[in-house]
Structure 1
Amino acid sequence: MDLTEQISQLEADLQELSSLLEKSERKRVQELLKQEQRKVEKELATKRHQQEQQAKREADPTAGSKAPYTTKITNYAWDQSDKFVKIYLDLKGVDKIPAENVEVNFTERSFSVLVKNLNGKNHQMSVLNLLHPIDEKDSYKKIKTDMVLIMCKKQATKKWDCLTAVEKQSKEKDKPSAEDNADPGDGLMKMLKKIYEEGDDEMKRTINKAWSESQEKKFRGEETMDI
């Protein structure tokens, strides 16, 4: 029995219950009839709501459908020429969806990508704090087989060491400092000097004695080499 028939049956039940309620004279019977009436009214309202939803789905199959899940794009590579920084996004089947489903927005120091409804998902990527400013008006996208190519037009023809300013800061932080490359002997001398300055008289005498013996050995070694 479809929804239309179920609704018709419930409407007929409700009409008969109303008729019986009017004819009934005993209070207990009236209460039982009212309870059943409320039960039928509730069921009838539910069936009518289901019928409305069904009609909407038939009129627009996409109505009420679940929004696609959005995932971040992490699989990409980049390259550059004198005029452009090129970002390659690996997205299987992207060339088979409508071109308007691929949206790319540029600013002077960023770009964002949104690929709608590809393999049942939305795919998103944002790159902020580009290493150098770009010309957003002359930047554009290209859709290739299983790939989106982002073309960021450089404002200057200088070579980019990395894609973002954050990456450059991270590389500079990881570079060894001048102190890391210093002679280990210099570090030892600084440490001994600090101990000497902060030590008591006994410590200073010990360091002076060790220094004198060290210099004496060094002098004797040089004499031996001269002979």
Structure 2
Amino acid sequence: MDLTEQINQLEADLQELGSLLAKAERKRVQELLKEEQKKVEKEITAKRQQKEQQARRVADPTAATKAAYTVKITNYGWDQSDTFVKIYLTLKGVHTIPAENVGVEFKERSFSVLVKDLDGKNHQMTILNLLSPIDAGESCKKIKTDMLLIMCRKQTSKKWECLTQIEKQSKDKDKPAPNETADPSDGLMSMLKKIYSDGDDEMKRTINKAWSESQEKKLKGEDMMDL
């Protein structure tokens, strides 16, 4: 089925959804139909853009081979499951270009992305020194509406604290070094202050009494109170 036929079918679906919406009386049914209308309208827009691009390529067969300048993809989001590390790239219109224009190369510790001829530009991204090894053969890409999803399959199902080794080194460097000369009683004092601050009147009286007795013992040269 060519794009023209696909668009015609989607427009027919949209028209039928409109008829059903006009007859629907239940609010929930109306909301479901409206939501489906939005999805179909979005799909029609994407198919029309794809058709326009095809028409331009037919009109100018050399357009696809003309040099396009390359921009680096710098913004991305990521999350993970037990099996995959997922990288999300927002690329407006990526779903409208031929799938073969979207290339991703996976290696054990890296991956690179090259999206050709999207809005007159090539888009490139390379991530090196992944935190842990991935299975390049089982990793993949998924093209979604205005977004490219990169799925790196983990070799082991441990949780990643960050995406790359460089990020981990930077985090480790920023961690404060342990203060070996700190007074061991500081922790106890902090705890007592918090208990005092959060406690009721009875608790505050108890702490004040214990503190006063402790100070008296110190003045007499006795050991500090045993709380």
* TM-score category (smaller protein): 0.5 to 0.7
CA distance in 2, matches of 1:98, 1:92: 14
Question: 1:147-197, CA deviations, whole angstroms, 9 ceiling, x for partnerless residues?
Answer: 000000000000000000000000000001113x74169xxxxxxxxxxxx
Q: What pairs with 1:118-157 in structure 2 (closer than 5 Å)? A: 118-157=118-157
Distance 1:156 1:87 in 2: 18
Task: Point out where structure 2 has 5 or more consecutive residues left out of the alignment.
Answer: 1-59, 185-214
**Alignment correspondent of 1:183:** 182
Query: Quick one: distance in 1 between partners of 2:167 and 2:96?
Result: 34
Greater C-alpha radius of gyration: 1
Displacement of 1:62 in angstroms is: 2.4
Distance 1:222 1:106 in 2: 72
1:67 deviation in Å?
Answer: 1.4
How far apart are 1:224 and its partner, in Å? 8.0
Q: How far 1:66 sits from its partner (Å)?
A: 5.2
TM-score scaled by structure 2?
Answer: 0.54
Amino acid at match of 2:81: S
Instruction: State how 1:1-227 maps to structure 2 within 5 Å.
Output: 62=62, 67-179=67-179, 182-183=181-182, 222-223=219-220
Question: Deviation per CA, 1:111-155, whole angstroms, max 9, x where unpaired?
Answer: 000000100100000000000000000000000000000000000
Distance 1:221 1:126, change over 3 A: same
SS for the counterpart of 1:173 is helix
- Alignment size in residue pairs: 134
Which TM-score applies when normalising by structure 1? 0.54
Structure 1, gaps ≥5 residues long: 1-59, 186-217
RMSD, aligned α-carbons? 2.8
SS for the counterpart of 1:129 is: coil
